[in-house]
A and B are shown apart, each in its own frame.
Chain A
């Protein structure tokens, strides 16, 4: 009863017959926080991601609401670029959820419209 959690949660030794009580350990990790910007001569202007993707409210934005992959960031960026028209310079600040907190994924390094 006691050995399981002490070994599992204290020392990271996990066996099927010794129980550790991991709950909500990794759920939600990988969720990304995404902020798109349009780079202009006057600086970076924050963009309303869901509005530019064609949604009126976050509740009704369906699958566009959550981003968990870099590829989806690029796909959404491309759709935003199409809305803004060429020559658009769209960049993104993206952080990804981890067990320890947040990890930087993108920091507006590249123009995602190319």
Chain B
């Protein structure tokens, strides 16, 4: 078959069920929230651009999740994620300039080129009986597949050098995370070489599977293999959300009509035996008693939570005021950053900090004492 005709049939005019891209749409938002949610919570430190990005992100991810204006929402999510990737300095953390954030941006941008709102969406519900059938042109899905091939091929290319293939780089990773700096034995080196070559074959295999796997079974096997491979990386090394992004993205491996068949079977009502009408009064009352007693038990036992909430957030705040200048407030760490080591600021400010529950007047020297290191991840209020 001539190439032009093949491209026409299998790429440009490729049609299929829209359910798989709809599933990708919903799951991609979950990953986006997981990775960028904490970063894009609006706070007083953000500049105007960061605030605007944050607002667009939350609005567009919400729309994308429920499937309202699905395609523009997907594009907006992709673009805001890319803005965060490219301008990571405005959002405070250099680890946002990483491949897993970029992959997330690309996934959402490419999803916007598919009819991802035609299934499992508010868009569809609003159309009611006028809704189009769940089949559409899926050249955007071909782009997603192609990007996946490029991603894995790029990864194989990246690892095709002596340092990796000799196992030295993997040994460095294993030593850094687990083994420490003592010399390793031959067994560890064999393991390192095996893992190094294993990742090259795994990534190459996944690229080939996207292109050439012939049947649903082989593609399902490749999907499960890919999830296991990325899952192992997530288990063994402190990576971020790339595993989740790939678990979602790899869904493009599965033939769309088979995804339709599977979801159809899961949604189809099944007749069965009438449910048992046996009374469950005793287990319910026992369970309810346990649930009601737990917070009370928590008040008596220090290691058990007592159900109270929002008790610690704000118990380390400080406020700095000058007679003729603006006031500065925030957690002790934030105020420390803004005020300490700043000879340009006026002297003799009035400072107070919350110490053991009460506001206490504090001196600048005490405020500016060295603070202990803190966890990188923002601590939740509850």
Q: Chain A interface (Cβ within 8 Å of chain B)?
A: 1-2, 5, 9-10, 16-17, 19-25, 27-29, 31-35, 49-50, 58, 61, 65-67, 97-102
Contacts and interface: CB of A to CB of B under 8 A. Distances in A.
A101 B169 CA distance: 6
A100 B183 CA distance: 18
Interface stretch (B144-152, B277-285, B349-357): B144-152
Q: Is the interface of A mostly helix, strand, loop or mixed?
A: loop
21 contacts: A1-B150, A9-B157, A9-B158, A17-B86, A20-B154, A27-B173, A27-B176, A28-B172, A28-B176, A28-B177, A29-B172, A31-B175, A33-B183, A34-B181, A34-B182, A49-B181, A97-B168, A97-B171, A98-B163, A100-B162, A100-B163
B102 interface: yes
B110 to A, nearest CB: 9
Given A24-B159, A97-B176, 5 more contacts: A21-B151, A23-B242, A50-B182, A66-B175, A97-B169
B172 A31 contact: yes
A65 B163 contact: no
Given A35-B183, A66-B181, A28 B175 contact: yes
Contacts of B157: 5, 9-10
Contacts of A50: 180, 182
A101 B158 CA distance: 15
B92 to A, nearest CB: 18
Contacts of A49: 181-182
B180 A19 contact: no
Contacts of A24: 159, 169, 173
Interface in B174-192: 174-177, 179-184
A10 B176 CA distance: 28
A2 B184 CA distance: 39
B192 to A, nearest CB: 11
B331 interface: no
B155 interface: yes
B168 A31 contact: no
Q: Is the interface of B mostly helix, strand, loop or mixed?
A: helix
A100 B150 contact: no
Contacts of B102: 19
A19 B106 contact: yes
B53 interface: no
B161 interface: yes
Nearest to A48: B182
A80 to B, nearest CB: 13
Contacts of B159: 24
Contacts of B241: none
B39 interface: no
A100 B6 CA distance: 42
A66 B182 contact: no
Contacts of A61: 180
Nearest to B184: A33
Contact of A1 (B147, B166, B174, B182): B147
B180 A101 contact: no
B317 to A, nearest CB: 32
Given A66-B176, A97-B168, A101-B168, A25 B181 contact: no
B172 A67 contact: no
A58 B158 contact: no
A46 to B, nearest CB: 9
A20 to B, nearest CB: 7
Contacts of A27: 173, 176
Contact of B161 (A1, A29, A100): A100
B182 A31 contact: no
Contact of B181 (A16, A20, A21, A65): A65
A102 B180 CA distance: 15
